[in-house]
Amino acid sequence: MAPAHTDGEDASHDHLQPLVQSTVRATHSLFSGTSVPTQTDALLSSQRQKISSKYRAEYLSSRVLPRSMQPTDSPNPLLLTAPRQTKLLTQNGHAEITVCSLTNVEDEVQKVLDGLAGRQRAQAKKHKVPTRELVRMAAEATRDDSAPAGQQIVRKRTYEPVRPEWHAPWKLMRVISGHIGWVRALAVEPGNRWFASGSVDRTIKIWDLASGTLRLTLTGHVSPVRGLAVSSRHPYLFSAGEDKQVKCWDLETNKVVRQYHGHLSGIYALALHPTLDVLVTAGRDSVARVWDIRTKQQVHVLAGHRGTIASVVCQDADPQVITGSMDSTVRLWDLAAGKSMATLTHHKKAVRALALHPSDFGFASASSDSIRQWKCPRGDFVQSFNGHSSIVNTMCANNDGVMFSGGDDGTMRFWDWRSAHCFQKTQTVVQPGSLDSEAGVFCST
């Protein structure tokens, strides 16, 4: 047995009627092109018939005023208010008065319907517009093609992760020993014939790349060598160390031809500009200094970091200089103006390594919390490389989309550049006579 509804319950649901009707109209407008049935027109037609029949039955007879109340100034007052009547003869001969034409009853019914509609609109204003209605209204307002970019409502696409590419596994080819201290810097000659290594033993050694034999040993620094770079446009080798010295070696005579003075403390990083005769060095004095190779003049002092600058890289497009510091920030520099373009503060620990991609216009920065990838020129964050559980000292990337990272605990990881997937993880080989705690990876190229 269905429960009986009281008048109080009907009154409590009256405020929902405008919302229900607006929802029906919105659904009808949304699916107007399909075969979805709607009851809006049927409800309006039935409501019109109900009011019209009720109006005829109850109020039509009262529309004609009595003769005593009709105005006398009209020549024919009955024609103004009373409906026209005709007499028809029935089958038994009696006359019957029938209403054959009235004043427009439909106009009166329409007025009643308009009054009800206005009352419903007034009630609907007291309630909030549904969220779907707001979205539809905003979409119609921004549907114009002249609307500026970023102000149009666009459907959010589902995120599809990038599938990692397959890369051949990397294997240890040769172990070269000769230094008596940690190797802190590496540089490969552009022709891939030889490479140089700088060590804590204050020497620079030149090795044959194919056979791994020692060719030459350069001495001149009085402190550990922390940075090396080989010029692709001149027969020069540049070195920097913790003795605050920057040296330019002539590879034809194997002697120092220039020295660059200006740093106030040890130098930890060095980078050559790929197209300009410019050298950038940085270190413990928290500044990066830009040098003219030929004149030995200091072009810029890039100041802004609050800690030791541990890494610096250069490229031929803005930002042409990128530095990573112990103050947990990465700065992008405008080389022409000598000012900072952007400061990236996403890292929580010291940034000790930077790596530029040779073909993709982006770079990566590493700290003990994670490795992060950025897109130039504004330094937009792309993705994170998670997996290391120690300090990351070095990184490098190649044209095949492989990035290498070496940690302080001797772990080495090979990553896919686009998907941030670690496709290989290995451990360095500890040299005989060395401690396990000294098996860190400090440099790569």
Helix axes 17-30, 105-125, angle to 10 degrees: 100
Of 414, 416, 440, 417, nearest in space to 426 by CA: 414
Distance CA 112, CA 51 (A): 8
Residue 438 pLDDT > 90: no
Report pLDDT for 264: 96
Task: Give dist(CA 353, CA 413) in Å, integer.
Answer: 14
Structure-token pair, residue 157: 């696409």
Q: How many CB atoms lie within 10 A of CB 64?
A: 12
Q: What is the pLDDT of residue 23?
A: 83
Q: Percent of the chain at pLDDT above 90?
A: 60
Q: How far apart are CA 188 and CA 237, in angstroms?
A: 10
- For 85-95, what is each residue's pLDDT tens digit? 444 444 444 44
- Whether residue 100 is predicted with pLDDT greater than 80 in this model: the reply is no
Contact 259, 216 (CB under 8 A): no
**373-404 pLDDT, tens digit each:** 999 999 999 999 999 999 999 999 999 999 99
User: Over the chain, what is the mean pLDDT?
Assistant: 82
Residue 79 — pLDDT band, cuts 50, 70, 90? very low
pLDDT of residue 77: 43
pLDDT of 410-422, one tens digit each? 999 999 999 999 9
Q: How large is the average pLDDT for residues 92-100?
A: 43
Please report where in the chains the tokens 């112990």 appear, as a residue.
326
Q: What is the mean pLDDT of residues 23-47?
A: 64
Q: What does the pLDDT average to over 167-193?
A: 94
Q: Report pLDDT digits (tens) over 336-373.
A: 999 999 999 999 999 999 999 999 999 999 999 899 99
- In three-state secondary structure terms, 51 is helix
Band of pLDDT at residue 434, cut at 50, 70 and 90:
confident
**Confidence tier at 80 by pLDDT (50, 70, 90):** very low
pLDDT in tens, 220-262: 999 999 999 999 999 999 999 999 999 999 999 999 999 999 9
Q: Reply yes or no on whether the pLDDT at 426 is more than 90.
A: yes
**117-130: average pLDDT:** 61
CB atoms within 10 A of CB 194: 18
Higher pLDDT, 234 or 109: 234
- Specify the pLDDT at position 88: 42
The better pLDDT of the pair 193, 41 is held by 193
pLDDT, tens digit (0-9, with 9 covering 90-100), for 295-335: 999 999 999 999 999 999 999 999 999 999 999 999 999 99
Measured distance CA(130)–CA(133) in Å, rounded? 5
Coil vs helix vs strand at 295 = coil
User: What does the pLDDT look like over 190-220, one tens digit per residue?
Assistant: 999 999 999 999 999 999 999 999 999 999 9
Distance separating alpha carbons of residues 119 and 106, to the nearest angstrom: 20
The DSSP bridge partners found for residue 203 are: 219
